Amino acid sequence: MATVILPPRHYLNDGYGIASWLFTRDHKRIALLYLAGVTFFFFIGGAFAVLIRLELATPAGDLVSDETYNKLFTMHGVMMVFFFLIPAIPAVLGNFLVPIMIGAKDLAFPRLNLASWYIYMVGATFTTYAIVTGGLDTGWTFYTPFSTVSSTSQVIPAALGIFVTGFSSILTGLNFIVTMHRMRAPGMTWFRMPLFLWSTYATSLIMVLGTPVLAITILLVAVERVFRFGFFDPTLGGDPVLFQHLFWFYSHPAVYIMVLPAMGVISELVAAFCRKPVFGYSFVAFASVGIAVLGFLVWGHHMFVAGQSVYAALVFSILSFLVAIPSAVKVFNWTATMYKGSISWDTPMLYAIGFIGLFTIGGLTGLFLASVGLDVHVTDTYFIVAHFHYIMVGGTIMGYLGGLHYWWPKISGRLYNETLARISAGIIFIGFNLTFFPQFIVGYLGMPRRYHAYPPEFQVLNVLSSAGASILGVGYLIPMIYLMWSLRYGRLAGSNPWGAVGLEWTTTSPPPTENFAETPVVTWEAYDYGAPVEGHVA
């Protein structure tokens, strides 16, 4: 094999200095700007989680005051949802890969892309300001009238921060939609696109249609607080449940913004590390769009005990079951892809396998919640907390890490330490399950969520959970170290270290600023592993 060298000119050495980064129009550099941002906020949100789990190791509220605890879980949620989970895969991996995967030189609107990052950072600054000047204690869900009338915390700057960041999401989605419609290379038809792009497209639809409703809702909350209007305050004629409808109309689709991109990554990983096409390509593609559409119709399942009519509850229940079907179809398709594959055990594949298992569990527990009669007992308990962490952490974060490891050689030109990476994946898997599985049990027992102190019979399960959290935390720190280390000292990757198929692997690692030396003309289907490929055994 020829010695691998770095290409002389690539996007990372195309201009040095802070200005070349802060004023870049290159989607790849913008992806890295987002990577820095989301990683930073992930660790802030993670620090809050550590404090929460430390407090919950004992039944009494003895580590922090109740006011502080309420701020901890609120800000953990706000940071993780709005500043990590929603942007991470679309803005880091999506920004980097969308143009390359369709054979384009950049997104449709590069300056808008940079503006999106600045908007994200401005929103994050507002929210960070809220955190350091006293914090927010409304829960990430801002239920009224507590958030508009009763809370004495920094609701307004936090609400404004989320309002502003929403526009980053909207503009990113807009950019992706236009890019995929108008800038595909010759021969790149919709059904030759990698499934990551189908997921990104479906995600972009949700970002564009759902986020504006959150924007107006959170704006009304801020306005109500400042001017004492009465949109959601019953003493002024408003309806607090109306807030919940408006809020969840966005926030349910938002969870699909968080998980669809991860599903897209998994499709890529499974195809690449089994060296065969994803089983049932068009079914997986349509399932992504189906999830996006159905996802807009189920918001009321967050409100089964909030006082809606019985018939509304039943409609939302049946739709919630329907939205589970496309997700199940994807899981079956990924599993079938592994059948008679040529399966490599590289770290990205380990994350993919972890995702499939954990997302399955998380998704199945969703069926418990869609059954109205059962949801009445488990809603607002730790059962819910466990459910969404299985999807968000066991699902999305594992998808994110898998994707980060898979495309790391393309992004950086370097290989990371595979042994350390596999160990970390294992630590994360074990730590994750130990943290969150006991929460299903303690939730069904009746431990409510957002509780600072709890009855003593819940302690053992909480201690298990806190122990798991400490392991999980360690698991997340190790990749930071070896990934950063690889930037300087990692072996050079070459253009296709995995022996995978896809336009991104036909260009250099790192790619040139304009992505390709010449515009590709596509004459092959996605995941065309028919011809033998160079590669390795792992």
Binders of other proteins among 237-266, rule CB under 8 A?
Answer: 237-242, 246
Cα 175 versus chain centre, distance: 18
Question: Residue 134 has which token pair?
Answer: 């006293």
Residue 414, helix vs strand vs coil = strand
Identified binder of other proteins from the candidate list 10, 225, 422, 450, rule CB under 8 A: 450
User: Is residue 422 part of the contact set for other proteins (CB under 8 A)?
Assistant: no
Indicate if the alpha-carbon torsion angle 62, 66, 71, 74 is positive or negative: positive
Kindly give the residue spans of alpha helices, DSSP state H, lying in 87-194: 95-102, 110-132, 155-182
266 touches 198 (CB < 8 A): no
187 touches 522 (CB < 8 A): yes
**Nearest approach, Cβ of residue 174 and other proteins (Å):** 5
**Nearest approach, Cβ of residue 333 and other proteins (Å):** 8
User: Is residue 536 part of the contact set for other proteins (CB under 8 A)?
Assistant: yes
User: Is residue 340 part of the contact set for other proteins (CB under 8 A)?
Assistant: yes
For residues 369 and 288, give the distance between their C-alpha atoms in angstroms, rounded to a whole number: 22
Question: Residue 326 has which token pair?
Answer: 């496309």
88 touches 169 (CB < 8 A): no
Residue 209 or 487 with smaller CB distance to other proteins: 209
CB atoms within 10 A of CB 270: 30
For residues 29 and 36, give the distance between their C-alpha atoms in angstroms, rounded to a whole number: 11
From 195-203, 251-259, 313-321, 474-482, span contacting other proteins (CB under 8 A): 313-321
Identified binder of other proteins from the candidate list 2, 16, 19, 518, rule CB under 8 A: 518
Q: What part of residues 129-168 is at the interface with other proteins (CB under 8 A)?
A: 137, 139, 143, 145-146, 149-151
Cα 216 versus chain centre, distance: 23
From 256-264, 408-416, 421-429, 452-460, span contacting other proteins (CB under 8 A): 452-460
Q: What part of residues 458-477 is at the interface with other proteins (CB under 8 A)?
A: 459-461
User: Is residue 2 part of the contact set for other proteins (CB under 8 A)?
Assistant: no
**Nearest approach, Cβ of residue 387 and other proteins (Å):** 11
331 touches 281 (CB < 8 A): no
User: Is residue 535 part of the contact set for other proteins (CB under 8 A)?
Assistant: yes
For residues 345 and 85, give the distance between their C-alpha atoms in angstroms, rounded to a whole number: 26
**Nearest approach, Cβ of residue 218 and other proteins (Å):** 10
Residue with tokens 């129009």: 25
User: Is residue 331 part of the contact set for other proteins (CB under 8 A)?
Assistant: yes
Q: What part of residues 275-294 is at the interface with other proteins (CB under 8 A)?
A: 275-277, 279-283
Identified binder of other proteins from the candidate list 6, 293, 297, 380, rule CB under 8 A: 380
Nearest C-alpha neighbor of 464 from the set 441, 444, 435 = 435
Residue 282, helix vs strand vs coil = helix
**Nearest approach, Cβ of residue 480 and other proteins (Å):** 27
User: Is residue 409 part of the contact set for other proteins (CB under 8 A)?
Assistant: no
Residue 126 or 163 with smaller CB distance to other proteins: 163
Which residues contact residue 538 at a Cβ distance below 8 angstroms, ignoring those fewer than 6 apart? 344, 345, 346, 418
197 touches 101 (CB < 8 A): yes
Residue 281 or 432 with smaller CB distance to other proteins: 281
Site string for other proteins, 475-514 (x = CB under 8 A): ------------------------x--------------x
Identified binder of other proteins from the candidate list 6, 54, 122, 183, rule CB under 8 A: 183
Q: How many chain residues touch other proteins (CB under 8 A)? A: 147
